[in-house]
Chain A
Amino acid sequence: MQVPEDYFSLFSLERRFAIDKNALAANFRALQNENHPDRVAADDEQAKLLAVQKSSLLNDAYATLKSPLARAGYLLTLQGVDVEGVSQDDLDMAVLMEQMELREKVAEAPAGEAGLAVLLPIKRDIQSRIAAREQRFVANLEGDDLSSAKRVFHELQFLHKLFQEIEVNEEKRLGY
Chain B
Amino acid sequence: MVLLQIQEPGGKPARPKHRLAVGIDLGTTNSLVAARCGLKVETLPDESGEHLLPSIVHYGSDGLISVGRKAKAFALTDPKNTLVSVKRMLGKGLTELRQLGHYLPYEFDATREDTAPAVLTHAGSKDPVAVSSDILSVLKARAERALKGELEGAVITVPAYFNDAQRQQTKEAAELAGINVLRLLNEPTAAAVAYGLDSADQGNIVVFDLGGGTFDVSLLSLTRGVFEVLSTGGDTNLGGDDFDRLLAAWLISQSGESAVVEGEALQLANELKHQLSDVEEVEFTMEDYQGSLSREQFAEIAKEPLSRAMMICRRSLRDARLGLDEIDNVVLVGGSTRMPLVRAAVAEFFGREPLTSIDPDKVVAVGAGIQADVLIGNKSDSDFLLLDVTPLSLGIETMGELVEKIIPRNTTIPVSRAQEFTTFKDGQTAMALHVLQGEREAVADCRSLARFTLRGIPSMVAGAAKIRVTFQVDADGLLSVSAEEIFTGVKSEIQVKPSYGLEAETIESILQASQENARADMELRSLQEAKVDAMQLIDAVAAAVIADPQLLEEGEEQRINEGVAALAAALENGSSAEVSDLTAALNRISGDFAARRMDVHISRALQGESI
Chain A interface residues toward B at CB < 8 A: 25-26, 29, 32-33, 36-39, 41-42, 52-53, 55-56, 59-60, 62-63, 167, 171, 174-176
Option from B226, B312, B374, B416 in Cβ contact (under 8 Å) with A60: B416
CA distance A52 to B413 in the complex (A): 9
Please report the total number of B residues contacting A with Cβ < 8 Å: 33
A63 proximity list for chain B (CB < 8 A):
411-412
B413 proximity list for chain A (CB < 8 A):
59
Question: With A25-B223, A52-B472 in contact, do A59 and B311 touch (Cβ < 8 Å)?
Answer: no
Query: Could you tell me if B414 and A42 are in contact, using CB atoms closer than 8 angstroms?
Result: no
Give A49's nearest chain B residue, CB to CB: B474
Contacts A59-B413, A174-B314 aside, 5 further interface pairs with beta carbons under 8 A come to A38-B374, A38-B385, A39-B385, A41-B182, A62-B412
CA distance A54 to B568 in the complex (A): 49
Give A34's nearest chain B residue, CB to CB: B385
Shortest CB-to-CB span from B127 to chain A, Å, is 28
8 A-B contact pairs sorted by A residue (CB < 8 Å): A29-B224, A36-B475, A53-B416, A55-B475, A56-B472, A171-B315, A171-B318, A174-B311
Query: Could you tell me if B226 and A33 are in contact, using CB atoms closer than 8 angstroms?
Result: yes
Could you count the A-B residue pairs with CB atoms below 8 Å apart for me: how many are there?
73
Name the interface residues of B191-238: CB closer than 8 Å to any CB of A: 223-226, 228
Query: Could you tell me if B223 and A167 are in contact, using CB atoms closer than 8 angstroms?
Result: no
Question: With A42-B153, A56-B472, A171-B318 in contact, do A36 and B387 touch (Cβ < 8 Å)?
Answer: yes
A60 proximity list for chain B (CB < 8 A):
415-417
Q: Which of A41, A174, A175 has the most CB of B within 10 A?
A: A41
CA distance A147 to B474 in the complex (A): 39
B376 proximity list for chain A (CB < 8 A):
41-42
B386 within 8 Å of A (CB atoms): yes
Query: Could you tell me if B414 and A38 are in contact, using CB atoms closer than 8 angstroms?
Result: no
Shortest CB-to-CB span from A23 to chain B, Å, is 13
| Dominant secondary structure at the A interface | helix
B80 within 8 Å of A (CB atoms): no
The 6 closest A-B pairs by CB, nearest first: A41-B375, A56-B416, A29-B226, A37-B475, A59-B412, A52-B414
Shortest CB-to-CB span from B162 to chain A, Å, is 19
Give A170's nearest chain B residue, CB to CB: B318
Complex interface bits, B383-402 against A, C-beta within 8 A gives 1, otherwise 0: 10111000000000000000
CA distance A59 to B387 in the complex (A): 10
CA distance A81 to B543 in the complex (A): 29
Query: Could you tell me if B223 and A42 are in contact, using CB atoms closer than 8 angstroms?
Result: no
Query: Could you tell me if A42 and B182 are in contact, using CB atoms closer than 8 angstroms?
Result: yes
B87 within 8 Å of A (CB atoms): no
CA distance A39 to B379 in the complex (A): 11
Query: Could you tell me if A41 and B183 are in contact, using CB atoms closer than 8 angstroms?
Result: yes
CA distance A62 to B315 in the complex (A): 23
CA distance A29 to B375 in the complex (A): 18
CA distance A60 to B475 in the complex (A): 14
CA distance A39 to B19 in the complex (A): 16
CA distance A168 to B459 in the complex (A): 43
A32 proximity list for chain B (CB < 8 A):
226, 385, 387
Shortest CB-to-CB span from B418 to chain A, Å, is 11
Query: Could you tell me if B314 and A38 are in contact, using CB atoms closer than 8 angstroms?
Result: no
B105 within 8 Å of A (CB atoms): no
B574 within 8 Å of A (CB atoms): no
Query: Could you tell me if A42 and B226 are in contact, using CB atoms closer than 8 angstroms?
Result: no
Query: Could you tell me if A59 and B377 are in contact, using CB atoms closer than 8 angstroms?
Result: no
B225 proximity list for chain A (CB < 8 A):
33
A171 proximity list for chain B (CB < 8 A):
315, 318
CA distance A174 to B314 in the complex (A): 10
CA distance A36 to B225 in the complex (A): 14
Shortest CB-to-CB span from B312 to chain A, Å, is 8
Query: Could you tell me if B383 and A55 are in contact, using CB atoms closer than 8 angstroms?
Result: no
